[in-house]
């Protein structure tokens, strides 16, 4: 897997080189399987370049069937595909420089290539409230009892692979 003879981990969407060769040239051929599906077979050297887009453990097997001079042989390795992409979040409301009452509804839309575990409101630089949310769906968190003055807010979202991100631009509002 990627030129090694060991299990590997790769990110979702990464290219992986599946290959194998016979040390001693022999009659017969090698078969290369990815999750029990034959992807290539040939004489002494077999290869396949794949892009793995699903987060899971892939079974990669190299098989040599018995001939009159050689015994059958099989080796299996695993490629673990993990998500490394952090989610993003759009801040929908309140708009920057808004003047609001002491109870504020914060609207935001998280997005990612996998499901979102939760999002948190960061108010004035501190974690305030966290809730479970869905990917690509506008959500809201209301915070009451804000004191008069200028405040800032951001949103931190974490996906189900534990990747997280805080939106890069703070929004400001006045109560």
pLDDT at position 152, please? 96
> What tokens does 129 get?
């409230």
Decide: 158 and 164 in contact? Cβ < 8 Å: yes
Verdict on whether the full-model pTM lies above 0.85: no
Give the model confidence (pLDDT) of 84-132 as tens digits: 899 999 999 999 999 999 999 999 999 998 999 999 999 999 999 999 9
Q: Tell me the average pLDDT across 57-81.
A: 88
For residue range 126-148, what is the model confidence (pLDDT) as tens digits?
Answer: 999 999 999 999 999 999 999 99
List, for residues 153-172, the tens digit of each pLDDT value. Answer: 999 999 999 999 888 789 99
Note the maximum CA span of the chain.
87
136: DSSP letter:
T
| Residue 13: pLDDT band with limits 50, 70, 90 | confident
For the chain, the straight-line distance linking the first and the last C-alpha, in angstroms and rounded, comes to 58
Please state the rounded mean pLDDT for residues 22-50.
Answer: 86
Q: CA-to-CA distance for 139 and 155, rounded, in angstroms?
A: 11
In the block, residue with structure tokens 């979702």: 12
Compute the mean pLDDT over every residue in the chain, rounded to the nearest whole number.
91
DSSP type of residue 166: E
**In the block, which residue shows the tokens 């009159």?**
68
- Express as a percent the part of the chain with pLDDT over 70: 99
């Amino acid at each position: 897997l990627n030129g090694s003879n060991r299990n590997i981990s790769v990110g979702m969407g990464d290219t992986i080189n599946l290959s194998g060769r016979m040390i001693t040239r022999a009659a017969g051929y090698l078969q290369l399987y990815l999750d029990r599906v034959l992807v290539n077979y040939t004489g002494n050297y077999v290869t396949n370049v794949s892009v793995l887009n699903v987060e899971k453990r892939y079974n990669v097997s190299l098989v040599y069937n018995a001939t009159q001079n050689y015994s059958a042989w099989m080796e299996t390795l695993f490629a673990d595909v993990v998500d490394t992409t952090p989610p993003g979040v759009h801040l929908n409301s309140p708009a920057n420089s808004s003047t609001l009452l002491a109870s504020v509804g914060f609207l935001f839309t998280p997005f990612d290539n996998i499901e979102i575990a939760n999002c948190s409101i960061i108010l004035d630089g501190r974690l305030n409230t966290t809730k479970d949310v869905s990917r690509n769906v506008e959500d809201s968190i209301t915070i009451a009892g804000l004191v008069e003055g200028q405040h800032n807010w951001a949103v931190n979202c974490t996906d189900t692979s534990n990747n997280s991100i805080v939106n890069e631009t703070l929004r400001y509002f006045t109560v």
